Amino acid sequence: MSDTSLWTSNLRTRWWDGLKEASACGAAAGIAWFTAHLLFGHPTPVFAAVSAIVCLSPGLPNHVRQAAGLTTGVAVGIVVGQIALLAPDTLPVFRMMAATFLAILLASAFGAPPVVPIQAGVSAVLVLSIGAETAGVVRLMDVVVGALSGLFFSQVVMTPDPIRSINQIAERLLRDLSGGLRSCAKALSDEDPEEANAALHSLSLAHADLVGLGTGIKAARSDARWSLRGRLAAAEVQELAARYERHAIRLYASSLLFAEAMANAIRKGAKEPPESLSQRILLIADRCDTLAARGSFGPQSALRDLPPLTDIVPKDRLWSPVIHRLELMEEALSAFGRPSPVGEDE
């Protein structure tokens, strides 16, 4: 995959993720506004809508903690602000500074997410600036409604499937490796050093998929712990995450080592590459595509054994490290794609 194709693919992924998150935020804000107006008669429940958006902010690893932290911070700030109103109003700026300091200090003691001290400080300032009638208990009621609306969307409506999320990233990794291997096979057939270096570079671009897989695994584990849908698939998430963590780096590294060895052999003028080596590379590329298409728990026919690479005997010893490293990649690919019982090492 070229740099431009990778950038385009990442842009499409970000746009799609952003579309889903923006839709959830908009719908949750509207429902929170309508609910607060219906239940409490607030004419403009701005804080309900804002709270729903804060709870569903894109990129958050844990929406439950965000909602709890938001409510806690607002409550602390309102209490501190109400107490600060009892102080003389001779120096309002210093009173606001003291209230903000105290609210953030108290909220920090909870050891919770950053949203807690932030909302505590903001709430204290709002109580002092626009009054307790608007920014006090009334705001807390709106915040609770907004947080509940955000939780409903994050836990029920828009919760991603953690298994599918991990598999989609693993699929991109496998398909990018497949494309790089096909480039390797062509470079080997043409015995072209420049093509070999380009194939090595193509495989190196799969590092972005590897990083994305690590991020996806972390997010899936968080979903398995903090979302209803994730808890139902927690065992599968743990098995899949453990397998990918053990073998994804190994698979990526072995593919780079193979491509580097092949490029070195071609550059050094290795003679007569084994006839079956190029075909074997294409078979492994096909296996990557098959594994990507079948998913994590598909039929094991995708992993049918290939003939041992020791059957390929090169005439030039420069090809020996190439064959050895291709064998290591085959082993890594089999381990990457073969499910195993939870807790069992492969």
Residues 209 and 310 in one domain: yes
345 inside domain: no
Of 48, 28, 30, the C-alpha closest to 158 is 28
32 inside domain: yes
The structure tokens listed for 293 are 């298409």
Mean pLDDT of 155-177: 84
CB 321 within 8 A of CB 309: no
343 inside domain: no
pLDDT grade for 154, boundaries at 50, 70 and 90: confident
Residues 243 and 174 in one domain: yes
> What DSSP state is assigned to residue 1?
-
* 223-108-110-152 Cα dihedral, nearest 10 degrees: -40
Domain C-terminal end among 157, 187, 217: 157
Looking at 119-123, 198-202, 229-233, which range is the least confident one?
229-233
CB 77 within 8 A of CB 123: yes
Give the integer Cα–Cα distance in Å for 88 and 164: 59
Residues 76 and 217 in one domain: no
Residues 166 and 76 in one domain: no
Looking at 130-144, 224-238, 240-254, 290-304, which range is the least confident one?
290-304
Q: Which pLDDT value is given to residue 341?
A: 45
Instruction: Mark out the alpha helices in the chain (DSSP H runs).
Output: 3-40, 46-55, 63-84, 92-108, 115-130, 132-135, 137-152, 162-190, 193-204, 207-226, 228-232, 234-267, 275-294, 320-337
Buried b (16+ CB within 10 A) or exposed e, 217-232: bebbbbbbebbebbee
Q: Which pLDDT value is given to residue 272?
A: 81
115 inside domain: yes
Residues 184 and 332 in one domain: yes
CB 302 within 8 A of CB 287: yes
Residues 206 and 116 in one domain: no
Q: Which pLDDT value is given to residue 299?
A: 41
Domain count, the chain: 2
Burial of 96 (0-12, 13-18, 19+ CB in 10 A): middle
Residues 166 and 275 in one domain: yes
Percent of the chain scoring above 90 in pLDDT: 43
Q: What are the φ/ψ torsions at residue 19 (nearest 5 degrees)? A: -65, -45
205 inside domain: yes
Domain C-terminal end among 133, 157, 181: 157
CB 36 within 8 A of CB 142: yes
Q: Where do we find the tokens 């979302």?
A: 227
Residues 11 and 147 in one domain: yes
Of 93, 153, 158, the C-alpha closest to 128 is 93
Looking at 40-54, 238-252, 289-303, 323-337, which range is the least confident one?
289-303
Q: Which domain holds residue 258?
A: 162-337
pLDDT greater than 70 at residue 340? no
Mean pLDDT of the chain: 85
344 inside domain: no
Residues 47 and 180 in one domain: no
CB 205 within 8 A of CB 6: yes
Q: Does the predicted TM-score (pTM) go above 0.85?
A: no
pLDDT greater than 80 at residue 280? yes
153 inside domain: yes
Give pLDDT tens digits for 119-137: 999 999 999 998 888 888 8
Residues written for the chain: 346
For residue 243, what is the domain's CATH number? 1.20.120
Domain C-terminal end among 127, 157, 187: 157
Give pLDDT tens digits for 71-105: 999 999 999 999 999 988 888 899 999 999 999 99
CB 112 within 8 A of CB 71: no
CB 136 within 8 A of CB 127: yes
Q: Does residue 165 or residue 191 have the better pLDDT?
A: 191
129 inside domain: yes
Residues 263 and 333 in one domain: yes
Of 312, 220, 203, the C-alpha closest to 256 is 203
Residues 91 and 173 in one domain: no
Q: What are the φ/ψ torsions at residue 218 (nearest 5 degrees)? A: -60, -45
Give pLDDT tens digits for 284-324: 999 898 888 876 544 444 445 555 555 666 677 888 899 88
Give the integer Cα–Cα distance in Å for 252 and 332: 9
Residues 126 and 172 in one domain: no
